[in-house]
Amino acid sequence: MNSPAPTQARITVIGAGPSGLTCARILQQHGIAVTVYDRDPGPDTRNQGGSLDLHADNGQIALREAGLLDEFFELARPEGQEMRQLSLAGEVAAQDLPEAGDLFKPEIDRGQLRTLLLDSLQPGTVRWGQGLDWISGPDDGPRELHFTDGTTAEADLVIGADGAFSRVRPAVSPAVPGYTGLSFTEAWFSDVENRHPEIAELVGQGGAAAADGERGLFAQRNSGDHIRVYLIRRVPLDWMSANGLTAEDTDGIRALLLGEYAGWSPSLHRMITENEGAYIDRPILALPVPHTWEHSPTVALLGDAAHLMPPVGVGVNLAMLDASELALALANAATVDDAVRVYEKTMLPRSVEMATALDGAAEGLLEAD
């Protein structure tokens, strides 16, 4: 089958996260039709997570191409660039304050970014409640998409923007994410200026970190007077069940964490004991390094589906840059196959270089200095 022109192709994006929506927005800006499928029943089904810093040299480039940079700056929090290093005594040992007018990497909540992107798309672009199960069909197309609800659809290009456990990735690569040995245990705090003033004062307007070489903590200010705390530990993947605990056993998990962080100050213990609701276990996964695949004229991967890396401030920025570059390649190429080749020529070497540099970098989150 001859590869079609992008303007004549049936292009589908799997995953309505930042990269998938950015790609769809830029395609529509260039008059290219696209459909986005997502397994969530709707846009408000689940919390989208914490705060993101979008960098001027990648994430913001994508938003500029999407025509949304001004709207982003209206929502973003430049003050969120503040970073603090906390001592185990619960004191601010070091502080990095952004200068006035510094917009290199302002923060924005994931939910706000997603809403910004969703609202920019043509009505009906996203098909909710359709999770991809698998892809069939020849490498040169058309591809058939098989959804968990039993429905199917044909596509000339399938763009996998569906994260760590991508259902698109197996069409081009057998790679699966592996556990890095580190786990984040997430705790939430709301109305912090009134209900948790000590935590709010210690964290400041951005992020605050502490570590003792074996365990760490990262607290992050979100919009709406919220703070999220991530307790970073080197533990087995099954640490919870191995200790006779379940995700619903908040008191048991709290007691275990207090024991592990016993030598830390009472002010830091507040970030363990005063959380509202259950803890959330987030094991840190990564794809093998390097991760590459043989070119397919009908499949392209973005973000974590292509290069899942440790969470050290790079992931969403590279994902959105991927999305922008693929969409622009499709807007400027004669065929879909040509566009995917152009995109991969830049994306694959960049992602391999970054993944190699960050391989094992999550361990740095435990370093005391």
Name every residue whose Cβ is closer than 8 Å to that of residue 344 and which is 6 or more positions away in sequence.
295, 300
Question: Mean pLDDT, to the nearest integer, of 122-135?
Answer: 97
Same domain? For 109 and 15 the reply is yes
Please state whether beta strands 215-222 and 226-234 pair in parallel, antiparallel, or not at all (unpaired).
Answer: antiparallel
How would you label 122-151 residue by residue, b for 16+ Cβ within 10 Å and e otherwise? eeebbeeebbbeebebeeebbbebebeeee
Instruction: Please state the separation of Cα 135 from the chain's center in Å.
Output: 24
**Residue 249 and residue 300 in one domain:** no
Q: Three-state DSSP class for 226?
A: strand
**pLDDT at residue 363, rounded to an integer:** 86
The whole domain housing 225 covers 180-285
Q: Single out the residue of 223, 283, 261, 208 nearest to residue 52, CA to CA.
A: 223
Neighbouring CB atoms inside 10 A of 271's CB total: 29
Which of the four pLDDT bands, split at 50, 70 and 90, describes residue 43?
confident
Question: To which residue do tokens 């990564």 refer?
Answer: 286
Q: Are residues 228 and 345 in the same domain?
A: no
Domain closes at, from 265, 285, 305: 285
DSSP per-residue string spanning 76-122 = -BGGGG-EEEE-TTS-EEEEEPPPTT--SS-EEEHHHHHHHHHHHSP
Q: Which of the residue ranges 11-25, 42-56, 311-325 would you say has the lowest mean pLDDT?
A: 42-56
Average pLDDT over residues 87-105: 94
Which of 268, 285, 302 is where one domain is finished? 285
Using DSSP, state whether 124 is helix, strand or coil: coil
Same domain, 317 and 197: no
Q: What CATH number has the domain bearing residue 197?
A: 3.30.9.30
Distance CA 68, CA 303 (A): 20
Instruction: Give 100 or 361, the one with higher predicted confidence.
Output: 100
Shared-domain flag, residues 12 and 147: yes
**pLDDT interval class at 316 (50, 70, 90):** very high
Give 353's DSSP letter.
Answer: H
| β-strands 157-160, 11-14 pairing | parallel
Q: Are residues 268 and 360 in the same domain?
A: no
> How many other C-beta atoms can be found within 10 angstroms of the C-beta atom of residue 221?
23
- Residue 298 sits in a domain whose CATH number is 3.50.50.60
Residue 90 domain-assigned (yes or no): no
Residue 218 burial (CB < 10 Å; 0-12/13-18/19+)? Answer: buried
253: left (phi over 0), alpha (psi -120 to 50) or beta: alpha
Is the pLDDT assigned to residue 1 strictly greater than 80?
no
Structural domain contains residue 92: no
Average pLDDT score over the chain:
95
DSSP state of 2: P
At residue 109 the predicted structure's pLDDT band, cuts being 50, 70 and 90, is very high
d(CA 76, CA 113): 9
What is the domain count for the chain?
2
Q: Is residue 313 part of a domain?
A: yes
Indicate whether 239 and 209 sit together in one domain. Answer: yes
The one-letter amino acid code at 172 reads V
207 phi and psi angles, rounded to 5 deg: -125, 155
Instruction: Determine the average pLDDT of the residues in 77-94.
Output: 96
More confident residue, 106 or 45: 106
> Is 97 within the bounds of a domain?
no
Residue 15 within any structural domain of the chain: yes
The secondary structure of 152-179, three-state, reads EEEECEEEECCCCCCCCHHHCCCCCCEE
Do 277 and 315 fall within a single domain? no
Residues 133 and 197 in one domain: no
The alpha carbons of the chain give a radius of gyration, in whole angstroms, of 21
Write out the two tokens for 338.
């040509």
Please check whether residue 362 is in contact with residue 322, taking contact to mean a CB–CB distance below 8 angstroms. no
19 and 149 in a single domain? The answer is yes
Task: With respect to residue 304, please indicate whether it lies within any of the assigned structural domains.
Answer: yes
Q: Is residue 88 part of a domain?
A: no
pLDDT, position 122 = 98
Condensed to tens digits (0 to 9), the pLDDT of residues 265-303 reads 999 999 999 999 999 999 999 999 999 999 999 999 999
Check: CB of residue 124 under 8 Å from CB of residue 104.
Answer: no
Residue that is last in its domain, among 220, 251, 285: 285
| H or E element that contains 23 | helix 18-29
Q: Which residue has the tokens 């798309």?
A: 121
Residue 131 inside a domain? The answer is: yes
Q: Do 42 and 162 have their domain in common?
A: yes
Answer yes or no: do 50 and 163 share one domain: yes
Nearest Cα to 238, choosing from 279, 179, 287? 179
**180-224: pLDDT as tens digits:** 999 999 999 999 999 999 999 999 999 999 999 999 999 999 999
